[in-house]
Amino acid sequence: MSQIETPVKDLVLGFFNKIGAQIIENKELFEIKIPQNHFDLFRTNSLKIIFNPTLSNSVDFELISPGSTILLKILNTCIDFGPVNIVRLNSNSQNIKFIRFYFYALFESIKTKTKIIHVDVDVNSKKIISIDDSNINFDRMNSDFKIDSDIIDDCYVESITHIEQNLMKSEIIDFKNEVYNLKNDELQNIDLEYKKRRKDIQDKHTDLRSKGTTGDSLSKLLDENKKIKYEEIELKNNLDKKFAIVIDFALIGSLILI
């Protein structure tokens, strides 16, 4: 399973488990029986979904991947309550506890980029680690295990810092540079366009003056020159809004690994 399929599958199945949905799997084909109190969210009482793109030809089964409507609904709902699930590590002889945070990364401007990522944090040391998915038993379990909220907050801050300064630092820089270059290209096009229009007006003004023309004709040229000056200023001011950059990492769920 790919890097993107694993967190998507885990998040989606974890969500359905949390809301009490019945999950029926048959050879990677999942049928989800939606509880009545969530009918309105999905506008149906059952869903047929898959996570493996090689099965995308399966009749009536929707592929769940970034961009799918079902995933978007789940992400928006998860952002509201941030589901927490508790799972066991297959090998954890030292009984060390970890937290895995799932984030929905959003890069938005004149173009948009989204990505689901996760960060693993050692609860005791607050250090970033990397846990192989093969070492996690993703079967959900009921447990009264709790972690102090201050510890969770510290781990969360550490994970965000890691994302911004390490995990996605180069992607953030590349995205900002790409948007900046697009903005600069458009700014140059505006400069060239209005430079040409101002020259046309100047040439007309020179021509009229050389012919001894006065009065309304010259006044109209002066008014036109003022008009395009304001147009140019407004266009350039609007570029800041058009190319504004929003980079956000929304917490959509977490795992406590014990």
126 CB burial (10 A radius; 0-12, 13-18, 19+)? middle
| Predicted local distance difference test score (pLDDT) of residue 80 | 53
Q: What is the pLDDT of residue 67?
A: 67
* Whether the Cβ atoms of residue 64 and residue 12 lie closer than 8 Å to each other: yes
pLDDT in tens, 112-158: 888 888 999 998 899 999 888 778 776 655 555 667 778 888 898 99
- The pLDDT of residue 1 is 47
% of the chain with per-residue pLDDT over 70: 85
In the chain, the percentage of residues whose pLDDT exceeds 90 is 22
pLDDT at 84 over 50: yes
Where in the sequence of the chain do the CATH 3.30.360 domains occur? 1-81
The pLDDT assigned to 3 comes to 47
What is the full DSSP assignment across 168-237? THHHHHHHHHHHHHHHHHHHHHHHHHHHHHHHHHHHHHHHHHHTT--THHHHHHHHHHHHHHHHHHHHHH
The CATH code for residues 1-81 is 3.30.360
| Region 14-29 average pLDDT | 86
For range 1-26, the mean pLDDT: 75
Confidence (pLDDT) at 128: 94
* Span 197-229, pLDDT tens digits: 888 888 887 877 777 766 777 778 788 888 888
pLDDT at 13 exceeding the cut of 60: yes
Answer yes or no: is pLDDT of 181 > 50: yes
pLDDT score for 2: 47
Higher pLDDT, 167 or 74: 167
As beta bridge partners, residue 62 has: 49
Residue 130 phi, psi (nearest 5): -135, 115
Alpha helices in the chain (DSSP H): 5-18, 39-42, 69-81, 149-162, 169-210, 216-242
Pick from 100, 98, 102: which is nearest to 82 by CA?
Answer: 102
Q: What is the mean pLDDT of residues 13-28?
A: 85
